[in-house]
C-alpha cells in the first residue's frame, strides 16, 4: 500500500499542475479547448486527490506517523509541488 501511496502522490501532483496550466495558459489562448479539457482533467485530479487523502489516513498507523506529520502530508496536497516535497522528505526514507 505504501508504494501505491507514493505513485498516487506523484500522479496527484502532476494532475494538479496540469489543471493549473490548463487554467492559466490554455484558457487565455483557446477557450474552446479549455472547456473540452476541463472535465477529464478535473475529474482525474479529483479522484487522485481523494485517493491521496484516503491512503494517507490509512497509512498513518502503518507508518507510525504522528498527527503533525499526517497534517503536513495532507496540507501538502493543497499546495502546488507539495506532493513532490512530501515524496522527497517523508516517503523516500520509509
What domain count does the chain have? Answer: 1
**Does 94 score more than 70 pLDDT?**
no
> What is the residue-averaged pLDDT of the chain?
90
pTM given for the model:
0.86
d(CA 87, CA 52): 12
Tens digit of each residue's pLDDT (9 = 90 or more) over 23-62: 888 888 888 888 888 889 999 999 999 999 999 999 999 9
Residue 21's pLDDT is what?
A: 87
- 13 vs 90, which has greater pLDDT? 13
Closest CA to 11 of 38, 37, 50: 50
Amino acid at each position: 500500500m505504501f508504494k501505491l501511496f507514493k505513485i498516487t502522490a506523484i500522479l496527484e501532483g502532476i494532475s494538479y499542475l496540469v489543471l493549473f496550466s490548463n487554467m492559466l495558459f490554455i484558457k487565455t489562448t483557446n477557450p474552446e479547448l479549455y472547456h473540452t479539457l476541463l472535465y477529464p482533467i478535473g475529474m482525474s485530479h479529483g479522484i487522485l486527490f481523494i485517493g491521496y487523502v484516503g491512503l494517507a489516513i490509512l497509512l498513518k498507523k502503518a507508518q507510525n506517523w504522528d498527527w503533525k506529520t499526517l497534517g503536513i502530508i495532507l496540507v501538502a496536497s493543497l499546495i502546488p509541488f507539495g506532493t513532490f516535497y512530501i515524496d522527497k522528505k517523508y516517503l523516500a526514507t520509509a
